[in-house]
A = this chain, B = another copy of it.
Amino acid sequence: MATDPTLNPHPDRLLPAAASVRPIARRLYQAVRDLPIISPHGHVDPHILADDTPFTDPTALFVQPDHYVTRLLHAGGISLDRLGVGQGPLPEDRARDVWRLLFANWRLLAGTPVRYWLETELADVFGVTARPSAATADDVYDQVAAQLAAPTHRPRALLDRFRIAFLATTDDPADTLDAHAALAADPAVTARIVPTFRPDRYLEPARPDWAAAVEKLGAGTYHEYLAALEDRRRHFAAHGAVSTDHSHADAIAEPLDAADAARIFDRARTGRATETETTAFRRHMICEMARMSCDDGLVMTLHPAIHRNHHPATHAAYGPDTGHDIPTTVEFTRALQPLLARYGTHPNLHLVLFTTDATTYRREIAPLAGFYPSVYAGVPWWFLDNPSAIRDFQRAVTEIAGFARLSGFIDDTRAFCSIPARHDMARRLDAGHLAELVAAHRLDEDEAADILTGLTSTQPRHVFKL
């Protein structure tokens, strides 16, 4: 091992290694490297941008809220308690202890995109040059902490520095959207920051909090409930929202008769609906959401088939989004047929399909996106947001559906500082994929360059109707 290893992200990282391909990839990448970032789906809290308060400390920024990081440390035998998960900002000695744990266990992250993003962030955003290890933990902590206190590293300064042109957050339908209103009204904010309508808990009568959620909508009947959802969607659209986001246990969309839906709604309100009924209602409501999208034009994104909160004890102690949401199988072809039979060629519908079951790309998503003008293949999501899965996706989907049916890159992150690293990774991998097509004489280089600019800029603007 070198005596003094440095953190020095290589300019050619992630590009294909073959000498006949890398120069092409490098040229393609250079042309899009500095284009503005369009982030049409993610989980940044809009209040950090509205308030522009400094991030408190490196651990609160990089570790505690990021289940990508904490799950890997947890798998390595470090309890979530020691990592400060769910404990809010920690006293400095504890924050520093957590940071030391992260750095001492850096090997647990080797080979993952999590490490890749963190290293890129440390190097590019904070100028860190020491390779993370137990020996360098304190110095790097100090270096990052000092910068977080400076105006250069407040959220809005980073927003500008990251060249983020568009950023969508994820919001509860009952949200007042005051943070978004404040951001929109502030002339100092040049990025467009908009909410996303995320109604999951309003659509699943099986959830314990459904009745309360419906109560909040002020809906006593099924028809009031539909009207209230339509009204909230209008409220979101008025605040700039371009899409609705849906994550349920499966992708099935199966309409009910209005009378049956109303009957289940009434039974669910009084806790008498069976599991069969609540499931049927949820699947019906996905069709209703598609109908409303045809009316109001909001793009619809589907992120199905994650087994949420797999480990009950962890959920009880630390809450949701703590690293044990686990993917399972999903099916789209049969599941979405009733919805697509009704709305699949409607000119107002844009339906973006995400998956964590990579088998569906070739088998279902690409063939659907390769026929229905409404369907787009969502780029690799969550557990698939890594180089090898992205390469498999690129090959699988574009050969069946072409490049025009891709959503463009989606970061879907709550880790604000990772946004540029993630988009940069996507651009590098897209450049690498296209360079391989050029090297195999399947595209001319000028065509590849046009496609890459499209994937980075025009395609997400088109798909998300910006």
Q: Which residues of A contact B (CB under 8 A)?
A: 1-2, 5, 9-10, 12-15, 17-22, 71-72, 74-77, 107-113, 116, 131, 307, 310-314, 323-324, 326-329, 331, 333-334, 337, 340-341, 344-345, 356-359, 362-364, 366-373, 375, 383-384, 386-389, 395-396, 398-405, 436-437, 439-444, 446-447, 450-451
Contact = CB atoms under 8 A, between A and B. Distances in A.
A93 to B, nearest CB: 26
B372 A75 contact: yes
A311 B75 contact: no
Contacts of A329: 331, 363
Nearest to A347: B77
A131 to B, nearest CB: 8
Contacts of A356: 362-363
Given A17-B440, A362-B384, 5 more contacts: A2-B446, A307-B334, A310-B333, A362-B383, A383-B400
Contacts of A18: 17-20
Contacts of A2: 444, 446
Contacts of A384: 362
8 contacts: A17-B21, A307-B337, A310-B340, A326-B367, A327-B363, A358-B363, A366-B383, A389-B396
Contacts of A77: 373
Given A13-B440, A333-B328, A362-B358, A402 B311 contact: no
A398 B115 CA distance: 12
B323 A310 contact: no
A322 to B, nearest CB: 9
A448 to B, nearest CB: 9
Contacts of A113: 399
A311 B340 contact: yes
Contact of A331 (B116, B328, B345): B328
A386 B400 CA distance: 8
Contacts of A14: 440-442
B112 A326 contact: no
B15 A111 contact: no
A366 B9 CA distance: 26
Contacts of A326: 333, 364, 367-368, 371
A17 B362 CA distance: 24
B389 A399 contact: yes
Given A75-B373, A446-B5, A367 B111 contact: no
Contacts of A389: 362, 396, 399
A357 B332 CA distance: 13
Q: Which of A1, A10, A113, A370 has the most CB of B within 10 A?
A: A370
A436 B18 CA distance: 10
A307 B327 contact: no
A362 B71 CA distance: 16
Given A14-B442, A388-B395, A395-B388, A373 B72 contact: no
Given A311-B341, A313-B345, A111 B13 contact: no
Nearest to A440: B14
B110 A75 contact: no
A113 B357 CA distance: 24
A441 B9 contact: yes
A384 B430 CA distance: 21
Those 6 A-B pairs whose CB atoms lie nearest each other, nearest first: A10-B441, A388-B395, A386-B399, A13-B441, A17-B439, A328-B333
B19 A108 contact: no
Contacts of A358: 359, 362-363
A20 B21 CA distance: 11
Contact of A312 (B341, B372, B398): B341
A358 B362 CA distance: 8
Contacts of A341: 310-313
A148 to B, nearest CB: 27
Contacts of A404: 75-76, 107-108, 110
Given A398-B112, A402-B110, A328 B19 contact: no
Contacts of A388: 395-396, 399
Q: Which of A107, A311, A323, A399 has the most CB of B within 10 A?
A: A399
A401 to B, nearest CB: 7
A61 to B, nearest CB: 22
B372 A402 contact: no
A439 to B, nearest CB: 4
Contact of A337 (B310, B371, B399, B450): B310
